[in-house]
């Protein structure tokens, strides 16, 4: 199976220009690029979809370029938005560019002796270009009528309008493709399906300016089986930076994937073979309660993004929280990230510590203190995995993990945290 067929099997192929010609070109190594605008300090799992497609191209022997948009990031992409972006300062965008460039090194091989990856910044060729020169040499090749017909622009016009700044984004992205075609013989741009119009505009610019030909390939924008946007959790976007989304929360995001999504996510994100994924799919159909496919997905992605050691730590933390490991062996950072999403209450350090019943009621996972007392009476009360047998029992400061946290458990699955502050 060739790479294009593999992408189609994995649900990663939305559109392409002249697939037959692209397959013919790919019989030899080609250069392909994907652009990432610095809209935050970190990439997120939505970016990871297309980034891993670029990784697949490199593993197949092609030459990958990751473009970080130091110029386009100052302008703002109108795709998928109903309003104008807030323009960030040069200093903020520059800092984000540096951060994202560093992140990319975890996913692409820059030391390959045959096809090393390359990271470029479009500010390098855009900043030196004057406005008149840009309008005369590049802008003259664009039809306003065609630009207005692009989905991203048309939807914004219907929603209330678009500034000239964001309207010009398509020209800047097209110019990027032209420059990479000139500088690096780049003949394939890959992007999300919402970028189709911009990529095709770049192909047209290459044809007009250099009488050259190139290709486009887009990846579907992933959605959950319930129709909601992929890459979001209750606490917001899932980021690749561990300071923005902890490794524990990252692992749990994949582990908690809906049963109807997990095999499609394995296809899209995993580097497992078709046979391995098919076997996981069969196992999932036989016994979805085992969550084998979910665990394989969470392990592979967490290892890819955060490393094998972090994956071992977060798995140990997840087991320990539910009584299958030693909580005292967890380091404070891992423990804190594991508890971050739980209902919680606080106790002032040095003050009296309330009873287990009072603490559980304060977290909100029971309706009342009387309900908390029933949990104790029914034998389902735990603190740090130790059973609580008295309604009046209160923990001491020595029972707080890392001198700071205590974990309340009601039954097998309901957890809450207490923090000394």
| Residue 260 neighbours by CB distance under 10 Å | 11
Residues 273-301 have pLDDT tens digits of 999 999 999 999 999 888 999 999 999 99
222 confidence band (pLDDT: 50, 70, 90)? confident
- Is residue 101 pLDDT above 70, yes or no? yes
Helix (H, G, I), strand (E, B) or coil at 43: coil
Q: Which residues of 6-29 are buried (b: 16+ CB within 10 A; e: fewer)?
A: bbeebebbbebbeeeebeebbeee
Residue 79: what pLDDT? 75
Sorted by sequence, the CB contacts under 8 Å of residue 7 that are 6+ apart come out as: 13, 53, 56, 217, 219
The mean of the pLDDT values for the chain is 91
The pLDDT, as a whole number, for residue 290 is: 87
Residue 235: pLDDT band (50, 70, 90) is: low
* Mean pLDDT, range 239-266, rounded to an integer: 93
Secondary structure element (H or E) that encloses residue 173, with its range: helix 169-184
What value does the mean pLDDT take over residues 189-208?
A: 94
Closest CA to 156 of 199, 204, 194, 191: 194
Other Cβ atoms closer than 10 A to 273 = 10
Alpha-carbon gap, residue 299 to 272, rounded angstroms? 12
Q: Which of 250, 189, 257 is nearest to 223 (CA)?
A: 257
Looking at residue 342, what is its pLDDT?
86
Looking up tokens 């090393």, which residue turns up?
A: 116
Residues 134-138 have a mean pLDDT of 91
pLDDT given for residue 180 in this prediction: 98
What are the E-state strand segments in 30-95? Answer: 31-36, 63-68
Ordered by where they begin, the domains of the chain are 3-219 (3.40.50.620), 223-328 (1.10.240.10), 342-421 (3.10.290.10)
Residue 34 has a pLDDT of: 97
Evaluate if residue 151 carries a pLDDT over 90.
no
> Rounded to an integer, what distance in angstroms lies between the CA atom of residue 128 and that of residue 124?
7
pLDDT (0 to 100) of residue 153: 83
pLDDT mean over 353-375: 92
pLDDT interval class at 234 (50, 70, 90): low
Whether residue 50 has pLDDT greater than 70: yes
DSSP code at position 289: G
Pairing relationship of beta strands 414-420 and 15-16 according to DSSP bridges: unpaired
At 362, give phi and psi (nearest 5°): -70, -25
Q: Is the pLDDT of residue 321 over 90?
A: no
């Amino acid at each position: 199976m060739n790479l294009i067929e593999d992408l189609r099997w994995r649900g990663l192929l939305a559109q392409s220009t002249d697939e037959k010609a692209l397959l013919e070109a790919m019989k030899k190594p080609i250069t392909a690029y994907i652009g990432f605008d610095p809209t935050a300090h970190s990439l997120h799992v939505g970016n990871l979809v297309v980034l891993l497609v670029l990784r697949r191209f490199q593993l197949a022997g092609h030459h990958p370029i990751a473009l970080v948009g130091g110029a386009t990031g100052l302008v703002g992409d109108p795709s998928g938005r109903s309003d104008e972006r807030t323009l960030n300062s040069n200093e903020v965008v520059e800092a984000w560019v540096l951060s994202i460039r560093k992140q990319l090194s975890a996913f692409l091989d820059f030391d390959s002796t045959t096809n090393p990856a390359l990271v470029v910044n479009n500010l390098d060729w855009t900043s030196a270009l004057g406005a008149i020169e840009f309008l005369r040499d590049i802008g003259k090749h664009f039809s306003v009528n065609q630009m207005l017909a692009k989905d991203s622009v048309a939807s914004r016009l219907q929603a209330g309008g678009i500034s000239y700044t964001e309207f010009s984004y398509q020209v800047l992205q097209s110019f990027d493709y032209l420059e990479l075609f000139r500088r690096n013989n780049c003949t394939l741009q890959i992007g999300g399906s919402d970028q189709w119009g911009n990529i095709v505009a770049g192909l047209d610019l290459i044809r007009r300016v250099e009488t050259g030909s190139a290709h486009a390939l887009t990846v579907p924008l992933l959605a959950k089986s319930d129709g909601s946007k992929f890459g979001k959790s209750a606490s917001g976007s899932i980021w690749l930076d561990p300071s923005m989304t902890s490794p524990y929360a990252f692992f749990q995001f994949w582990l908690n994937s809906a049963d109807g999504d997990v095999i499609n996510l394995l296809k899209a994100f995993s580097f497992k073979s078709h046979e391995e994924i098919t076997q996981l799919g069969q196992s999932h159909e036989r016994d979805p309660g085992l969550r084998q496919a979910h665990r394989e997905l969470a392990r592979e992605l967490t290892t890819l993004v955060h490393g094998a050691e972090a994956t071992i730590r977060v798995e140990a933390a997840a087991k320990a929280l539910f009584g299958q490991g030693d909580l005292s062996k967890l380091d404070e950072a891992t423990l804190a990230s594991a508890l971050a999403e739980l209902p919680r209450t606080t106790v002032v350090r040095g003050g009296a510590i309330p009873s287990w019943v009072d603490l559980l009621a304060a977290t909100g996972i029971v309706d009342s203190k009387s309900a908390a007392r029933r949990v104790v009476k029914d034998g389902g009360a735990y603190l740090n995995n130790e059973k609580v047998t008295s309604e009046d029992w209160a923990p001491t400061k020595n029972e707080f993990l890392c001198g700071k946290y205590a974990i309340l458990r009601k039954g097998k699955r309901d957890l809450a945290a207490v923090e000394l502050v």
